[in-house]
């Protein structure tokens, strides 16, 4: 029992040996079951709350930002680990390896940095927000991320980002996507920031369920993705093309006559010039510079060159979860006044 108590203390840092024995006794001496019982019953509340600094927090391109490394391995000295027998120490080391985060898969940096990398590589962003106080988070490391078939899927189509919710970056993501139950796994479109699919709470330790959920994202890249509402609008547009020749002629007569597009300014002064990204209905992405003082109508002139005479709408990508706002061509505002400088605009069929 003493070796098992030592191994339990490798995980439940800061509690007494007597408390460890109570959980082990309740679980019939089975270590994994005792640890699960410990977390499920809030056993961690018997120790001082852990601060974000206890879990590291690497910067972009710096050391890993482990969320459980100290919890499972390096804190053994606090529990008299130097006086333990070899068997206990080895068992603690094995336990630390069993529940370790998937450092070899992770992007070490900020959430924004991970989005930028995923966008450049044209991969989806796979986010895992964990909680050191939830045993299900550690089971996720042990049963899902450590599975080689899952790892191969991640390497092929995703940038993987994992943080603890009690870190600054973790709290930021929880606020963005309204995450209240841990652990949470999300597939994020790095171009728009949209949450495409998510699992929260106790994620079942069944790799096939996760693989099935990720399968649709293996067949297309973020740059290929079109939101459902855009696809529906395109289908409606195709139906309109089947109308009579006379009706089409009337529509052509009603085509907007947009202002002439001036020569593109050089990005020599960010105070005078802004850059706008445009995603076309066919998935293409373009960029164009404008003077901040230019009228917003020039954005229609630019898009008109690439989509033809078919009526279209311009919609700012916006913040995930927020209602979309359609830009009005009749506006008299400049790029500076409209607030769309240096932003992403989505072109949809009208």
Most confident listed range (36-45, 203-212, 258-267)? 258-267
pLDDT tens digit sequence for 289-329? 999 899 999 999 999 888 888 888 888 876 444 455 678 88
In a shared domain, residues 125 and 233: no
Count other C-beta atoms under 10 Å from residue 318's C-beta.
16
In a shared domain, residues 28 and 92: yes
In a shared domain, residues 190 and 124: yes
Q: What is the per-residue pLDDT for 79?
A: 38
In a shared domain, residues 343 and 238: yes
Q: Identify whether 135 is part of a domain.
A: yes
Give me the phi and psi of 170, to 5 degrees please.
-65, -45
Residue 170 pLDDT exceeds 50: yes
The mean pLDDT of 231-253, rounded to a whole number, is 51
Structure-token pair, residue 100: 């370790």
Domain hosting 336: range is 228-349
Residue 262 pLDDT exceeds 80: yes
pLDDT tens digit sequence for 24-60? 776 667 777 677 666 655 554 233 333 333 333 334 4
- Residue linked to tokens 């002439």: 260
pLDDT tens digit sequence for 269-281? 778 898 888 988 8
Structure-token pair, residue 119: 């966008």
Q: What is the per-residue pLDDT for 227?
A: 53
Query: How far apart, in whole angstroms, are the C-alpha atoms of residue 311 and residue 157?
Result: 35
pTM of the model: 0.46
The mean pLDDT of 141-162, rounded to a whole number, is 91
Residue 81 pLDDT exceeds 50: no
Which residues lie closer than 8 Å to 166 by C-beta, 6 or more apart? 50, 51, 52, 55, 131, 132
Name the more confident of 134 and 87. 134
Q: Identify whether 61 is part of a domain.
A: no
Residue 110 pLDDT exceeds 70: yes
Say if CB 187 and CB 197 are below 8 A apart.
Answer: yes
Q: What is the per-residue pLDDT for 40?
A: 54
Residue 12 pLDDT exceeds 80: no
- Residue linked to tokens 């929880």: 174
Confidence at 259, pLDDT banded by 50, 70, 90: confident
Q: Identify whether 105 is part of a domain.
A: no
In a shared domain, residues 82 and 23: yes
Which residues lie closer than 8 Å to 9 by C-beta, 6 or more apart? 15, 17, 20, 76, 79
Name the more confident of 61 and 287. 287
CATH number of domain containing 135: 3.40.30.10
pLDDT tens digit sequence for 172-199? 999 999 998 889 999 999 988 899 998 8
In a shared domain, residues 272 and 172: no
Name the more confident of 227 and 126. 126
Number of domains in the chain: 3
Say if CB 188 and CB 194 are below 8 A apart.
Answer: yes
With CA atoms as reference, report the closest residue to 33 among 2, 4, 6, 10: 4
pLDDT tens digit sequence for 116-144? 889 989 999 999 999 888 888 888 888 88
Confidence at 268, pLDDT banded by 50, 70, 90: confident
CATH number of domain containing 326: 3.10.20.90
């Amino acid at each position: 029992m003493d070796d098992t108590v030592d191994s339990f203390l490798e995980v439940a840092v800061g509690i007494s040996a007597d408390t460890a024995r109570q959980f082990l006794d309740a679980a019939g001496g089975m270590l994994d079951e005792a640890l699960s019982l410990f977390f499920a019953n809030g056993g961690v509340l018997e120790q001082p709350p852990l601060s974000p600094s206890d879990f590291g927090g690497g910067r972009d391109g710096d050391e890993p930002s482990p969320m459980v490394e100290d919890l499972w391995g390096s804190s053994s000295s606090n529990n008299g680990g130097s006086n333990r027998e070899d068997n206990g120490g080895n068992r603690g080391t094995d336990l630390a390896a069993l529940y370790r985060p998937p450092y070899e898969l992770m992007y070490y940096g900020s959430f924004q940095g991970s989005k930028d990398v995923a966008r450049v590589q044209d991969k989806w962003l796979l986010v895992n927000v964990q909680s050191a106080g939830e045993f299900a988070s550690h089971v996720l490391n042990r049963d899902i991320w450590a599975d080689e078939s899952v790892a191969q899927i991640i390497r092929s189509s995703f940038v993987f980002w994992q943080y603890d919710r009690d870190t600054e970056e973790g709290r930021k993501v929880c606020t963005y996507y309204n995450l209240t139950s841990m652990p949470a796994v999300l597939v994020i479109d790095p171009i728009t920031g949209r949450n495409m699919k998510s699992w929260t709470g106790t994620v079942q330790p069944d790799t096939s369920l996760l693989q099935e959920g990720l399968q649709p994202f293996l067949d297309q890249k973020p740059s290929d993705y079109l939101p459902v509402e855009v696809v529906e609008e395109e289908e409606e547009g195709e139906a309109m093309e089947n109308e009579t020749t006379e009706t089409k002629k009337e529509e052509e007569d009603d085509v907007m006559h947009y202002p002439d597009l001036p020569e593109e300014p050089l990005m020599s002064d960010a105070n005078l010039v802004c850059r706008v990204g445009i995603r076309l209905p066919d998935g293409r992405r373009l960029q164009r510079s404008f003077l901040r003082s230019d009228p917003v109508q020039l954005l229609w002139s630019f898009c008109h060159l690439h989509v033809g005479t078919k009526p279209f709408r311009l919609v700012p990508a916006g913040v995930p979860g927020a209602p979309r706002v359609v830009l009005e061509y009749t506006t008299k505002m400049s790029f500076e006044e409209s607030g769309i400088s240096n932003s992403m605009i989505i072109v949809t069929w009208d």
